[in-house]
Amino acid sequence: MELKEKLLSSYIAFENQNSVVNSFVNELRGEAIKNFEATGFPSKKNENWKYTSLKKVLNEDFSLFPESEHTIEYRDVQPYFIHDIDTYKIVFIDGKYASHLSQTTHEGIDVCLMSSALTQTKYRAVIENYFSKIAPKDNLAALNTAFCNEGAYIHIKKNKVSKRPIQIIHFSTAKESALLLQPRNLIVVDENAHVQVIERHQSLTENPTLTNSVTEIFANKRANIDYYKIQNDKSGASLIDNTFIDQQQESNVAVHTFSFGGKLTRNNLNFHQNGERVESILKGVSIIGQKQHIDHNTLVHHIAPNCESHQDYKGIFSDSAVGVFNGKVVVEKEAQKTNAFQANNNLLVNDKATINTKPQLEIFADDVKCSHGCTIGQLDENAMFYLQTRGIPQKEAKALLMYAFANNVLESVKIPQLKKRINKIIAEKLGVNIGFDL
């Protein structure tokens, strides 16, 4: 049975077991499964998926729901936490909440579970105001909405600052069979509030896993959000990460995406600027090899005047790896005085690696500053020669140049301990032991 048919036939049983008190959500689920039935999975006929095919991923015989629960101790997963800082933690194992690994709170802010928000009346107002308001109604987002049940629910209330960063970590074991996971996150940051979030999806085995994640983020007036995604998974893991962000007046949202591994990774990152003097920052570093595939699909929609956006993505591809960057900036007629920058720079370490890059601008306003561009190349031979004449071995010289190439993305990471962790991962990916201390 094809995966689409399997999902459609399983929906009624899922709905019966996971009905919620909020009829609004039940109606959304019903509409979503109908939309998914009509649209199905995206194919390469879709322009946004031209360079990324899901066929090989979808051919697996996925288990839609975990067959049994697995006990995982902290010592088994400690390396995947940023454990040298004090954080709130929302941890899931095979889509189920792991209370013994988590630390949530309701002291001035809500850091808890999506299942609680969907089933408890005290969250009804927030759910009805924000849930599924900016996520698309078709394809993968619709599929997630239909089966949404668990994930992170974060509400930072007016004038509040989360004293600790928040870690959202999804572990998958996939011990019995290939596993399909569909986490749903809702993050609402009220006026003058501030939060830092670190998100990670991590397989613990080499068995196939497909994660179809949807995150909706709402930044209200003068809200400040720093969001960090760490993607460094096993060779059998595939991730489709759908993140949709709504920004209101004078808000500032920065999303850093660090993609270092996994069979296939697709990042759909959409910003919608709905107020004046908004700033959006999108930065990413991709370092992959073997036959790995990474696809960054970004959209910044400038709707209001006097706003800025800054996109900077760096990619380093070796072996038979494939990279894709499809970035679009849309400036509406009303969005005068927009300042938008977009850049995608790539290194191909060898002849078999591939990069497909398409930066795009659609401008309907006449008083704007917008630029975009991309580069594809190899390491500078003169720089390599210079470093080697200074006594640096070829391997270390190559790693230093690649590190310098990606370093400006790291400079804007605001959590020192996280920056140190990313430095360590980059050193491991480049195969050297230079240290790269801060």
Kindly state the average pLDDT of the residues 231-257.
Answer: 97
Return the structure tokens found at 300.
Answer: 């910044």
Using 50, 70 and 90 to split pLDDT, how confident is the model at 1?
low
CA distance 126 to 280: 24
Kindly state the average pLDDT of the residues 88-115.
Answer: 94
Q: Is the pLDDT of residue 105 over 60?
A: yes
Say which residue, 89 or 65, is predicted with more confidence: 89
Task: Give pLDDT tens digits for 46-67.
Answer: 999 999 999 999 998 888 877 6
Residue 395: predicted pLDDT: 83
Q: Is the pLDDT of residue 436 over 60?
A: no
Say which residue, 253 or 399, is predicted with more confidence: 253
CA distance 161 to 108: 9
Task: Give pLDDT tens digits for 167-187.
Answer: 999 999 877 678 999 999 999
Residue 438: predicted pLDDT: 42
Give the torsion through C-alpha atoms of 189, 191, 193, 197, to 10 deg: 20
Beta bridge partners of 433: none
- Global pTM? 0.95
Positions of E strands within 277-368: 279-288, 293-302, 308-317, 322-331, 339-348, 354-363
Per-residue burial over 104-116, b if 16 or more Cβ lie within 10 Å, else e, is beeeebbbbbbbe
Sequence ranges of the domains in the chain: 3-395, 396-438
Query: Alpha helices of 59-113 — where are they, by DSSP H?
Result: 74-77
Asked if 146 and 11 touch (Cβ cutoff 8 Å), the reply is yes
Residue 380: predicted pLDDT: 82
CA distance 161 to 109: 8
Residue 67: predicted pLDDT: 66
Task: Give pLDDT tens digits for 11-30.
Answer: 888 887 777 666 788 889 99
**Residue in the block written with tokens 């896993």:** 209
